[in-house]
Amino acid sequence: MENRTGKIIAQLAEPDDSGAMPELIKMINRNVAPPSELKAEDVLVRAMYVASDRVNSFGGKFPIDELEQLAVKLIDSPVMVGHRKDSLPIGRNFHAVLTQKDSVPWVKAYFYWLKDSENSEQLRQNIDGGVYKECSIGFTFHLAECSICGQDIRSCRHEPLVRYRSDSDNSAVCCFLYRKIDKVLETSLVYRGAVPDTSLTNELSSARPAAVGSISCNYSASNDADPLVRPGELNPEEPLILLPFYEGRFAEVAVQSSQLQLRSGGVAIRLPRELATVSTQVPDFRWTPSLLVGYRGKERTSLAQLDRFLAGESSGVSHLEIMTIPFDKSTGVSQPVRSGQLCFRTIRCVSGTSETLGEKAESIASRDGVLIVGLSDQKVWRWKPEFQARRKAVGKYLLKRERASGRCLLQIRSAGKSLSYILFSFSSERCQTGVAFVAEPAAAAEIQSDGWMEASGDAIRSFRSVGDSLVIDCEGALEGDLVFRPLLIGGRKKFLVRLARNQSREAREIYEQA
Ligand SMILES: [Zn+2]
């Protein structure tokens, strides 16, 4: 009798959505590429909500942009039971999406195993019957970024899960952010996971993000979007969609028979041949509004660099993300796919109204805020929610250039003190691409020289030291972390100066949000 009950429960828990299976089987064959092609009758598929942006029991959490990386890196990783490395995997992850469960962002990983394998039915019963109820992920990463000071938590004075007071008299519990995720080793079915609320599911639908309406798309920069001062300025009747803000360009994108096409306002944008032909791995899709964002390694590049890249000129861009905005099943890509220097993926987005903007923005904002698209008037706004508002400046910098030479004078002022450095062979353009420059302290006579032309200057948000380097968080022309690393050249003390963009800002924003 007991046996029978067990079976009935298991049957009731079979996937209700067999409609998703053909597409899932295609993904298995494409992403895992087993030696012999699999069919729907060969496999069982389930999914796990394996990582969220909540703090886990070790005091660690994934910031949302690392969750996106995680979803990409999960593909083709093994599924184990209880992280046991002494036994073979019981299944394999073949697809992952960033989705939401109870308004929390989650990575949902789809995995399969073979129906005919040993203990296959037992595994299915344990999952569907709720015995294997939670899951967890094994991965390697290079940086555990302290949520309070932005340094590596292994070397700063803060302890995870301890509450600290901040300058503004609020207090926040310290956690660390998993940064520079290297690879996903495995995911495991466990009795209790470190991340709260992980779960296994046989709901296989929504393998794609939800459809949203339609927007027109001109080849304009995302940062040309009108800044929105307060959400109250939006028409409350207007249905909206929200995207994370990235500096990039909007264009309509289509792929047909491995030919990439771009257009703006109905007019084709000519691409260099090496970009126009893409791998056969990229599926065909029809015209889809998309955001194009350039990267150099893990750092986003400027619009000027992006434009040069698209024109086939030397740009410093190592790859281009083509983020399609999901409409329905025939637009955009269903999962990330790479082709040479191009990476196609669906951008995360949520729908909302002006009333729900705050909570929706919080779930989706990048470190630079959100883009809000009005579906009926097709207007685009940029918004930086309050929790991301900028801190008070702690100082100022001024960058002056010498006539007819590449030398620059960088002056840093804070709390009545002033420091001046000469930067050699400096170009702000190359600086933006992460090129390092040699600097040395400026002599008084040099500072007073009238050969310097006023160039640019802006606020400094913070100073901090990381190892023996000084890190100056700048706004404006030198937006990002300006890193001064001491070095000796010919017995003289100099510095290697490099602009690292946006590395620590998010940590602070999350802290301010806490
Ligand atoms: Zn710290």
Using CA atoms, how far residue 510 sits from 172, 229, 298, 387, 399, in Å, is 10, 21, 20, 8, 31
Indicate whether 265 pLDDT > 70. Answer: no
pLDDT in tens, 190-208: 877 778 888 988 887 644 3
**Mean pLDDT of the chain, nearest integer:** 79
Least confident stretch, 98-102, 414-418, 439-443: 98-102
Task: State in Å: Cα 283 to ligand 1 middle.
Answer: 45
What number is the average pLDDT over the span 203-220? 48
Site of tokens 């803000």: 245
Residue 207 lies in a domain: no
Least confident stretch, 147-151, 266-270, 341-345: 266-270
Residue 38 has a pLDDT of 94
Task: State in Å: Cα 298 to ligand 1 middle.
Answer: 23
Domain count, the chain: 3
Task: State in Å: Cα 18 to ligand 1 middle.
Answer: 49
Residue 215 has a pLDDT of 41
Task: State in Å: Cα 144 to ligand 1 middle.
Answer: 10
Q: Do residues 253 and 367 both lie within one domain?
A: yes
Q: Do residues 373 and 410 both lie within one domain?
A: no
Task: State in Å: Cα 394 to ligand 1 middle.
Answer: 19
Task: State in Å: Cα 163 to ligand 1 middle.
Answer: 12
Residue 266 has a pLDDT of 66
Residue 298 lies in a domain: yes
Residue 215 lies in a domain: no
Q: Do residues 183 and 304 both lie within one domain?
A: no
Q: Are 346 and 323 in contact (CB under 8 A)?
A: yes
Task: State in Å: Cα 146 to ligand 1 middle.
Answer: 5
Q: Do residues 364 and 472 both lie within one domain?
A: no
> Measured between alpha carbons, how far is 354 from 251 in angstroms, rounded to an integer?
26
Indicate whether 481 pLDDT > 70. Answer: yes
User: Which of 387, 409, 428 marks a domain boundary?
Assistant: 387
Least confident stretch, 33-47, 96-110, 411-425: 96-110
Indicate whether 317 pLDDT > 80. Answer: yes
Task: State in Å: Cα 388 to ligand 1 middle.
Answer: 19
Q: Do residues 359 and 400 both lie within one domain?
A: no
Q: Do residues 418 and 469 both lie within one domain?
A: yes
Q: Do residues 8 and 152 both lie within one domain?
A: yes
Q: Are 414 and 463 in contact (CB under 8 A)?
A: yes
What number is the average pLDDT over the span 435-453? 87
Task: State in Å: Cα 155 to ligand 1 middle.
Answer: 8
Task: State in Å: Cα 158 to ligand 1 middle.
Answer: 4
Task: State in Å: Cα 169 to ligand 1 middle.
Answer: 17
Task: State in Å: Cα 141 to ligand 1 middle.
Answer: 18
What number is the average pLDDT over the span 83-104? 81
Residue 455 has a pLDDT of 73
Instruction: Report the alpha-carbon angle 217-222-223, nearest 5.
Output: 145
pLDDT band at 167 (very low <50, low <70, confident <90, very high): low
pLDDT in tens, 121-150: 999 998 888 888 899 898 888 888 998 888
Residue 218 has a pLDDT of 53
Task: State in Å: Cα 371 to ligand 1 middle.
Answer: 31
pLDDT band at 82 (very low <50, low <70, confident <90, very high): confident
Task: State in Å: Cα 502 to ligand 1 middle.
Answer: 17
Residue 131 lies in a domain: yes
Task: State in Å: Cα 151 to ligand 1 middle.
Answer: 6
Residue 29 has a pLDDT of 92
User: Which of 358, 387, 416 marks a domain boundary?
Assistant: 387
Q: Do residues 231 and 85 both lie within one domain?
A: no
Residue 438 lies in a domain: yes
Task: State in Å: Cα 143 to ligand 1 middle.
Answer: 13
Q: Are 393 and 460 in contact (CB under 8 A)?
A: yes
Q: Whole domain around residue 236: which residue ranges?
A: 222-387
Q: Do residues 415 and 303 both lie within one domain?
A: no
Task: State in Å: Cα 452 to ligand 1 middle.
Answer: 39
Which helix (H) or strand (E) covers residue 27, if one does? helix 21-31
- Identify which has the larger pLDDT, 207 or 403: 403
Indicate whether 268 pLDDT > 70. Answer: yes
Regarding pTM above 0.75, the answer is: no
> Measured between alpha carbons, how far is 88 from 84 in angstroms, rounded to an integer?
8
Residue 433's identity, in one-letter code, is T
Residue 209 has a pLDDT of 36
Residue 140 has a pLDDT of 87
Q: Do residues 180 and 270 both lie within one domain?
A: no
Q: Do residues 240 and 192 both lie within one domain?
A: no
Task: State in Å: Cα 175 to ligand 1 middle.
Answer: 9
Indicate whether 79 pLDDT > 70. Answer: yes
What number is the average pLDDT over the span 381-393? 65
pLDDT band at 18 (very low <50, low <70, confident <90, very high): low
Task: State in Å: Cα 147 to ligand 1 middle.
Answer: 7
> Measured between alpha carbons, how far is 323 from 312 in angstroms, rounded to an integer?
20
Which has the closest alpha carbon to 373: 246, 250, 210, 242? 242
Least confident stretch, 31-40, 329-338, 381-390: 381-390
Task: State in Å: Cα 142 to ligand 1 middle.
Answer: 16
Indicate whether 394 pLDDT > 70. Answer: yes
Task: State in Å: Cα 101 to ligand 1 middle.
Answer: 30
Task: State in Å: Cα 510 to ligand 1 middle.
Answer: 13
Residue 211 lies in a domain: no
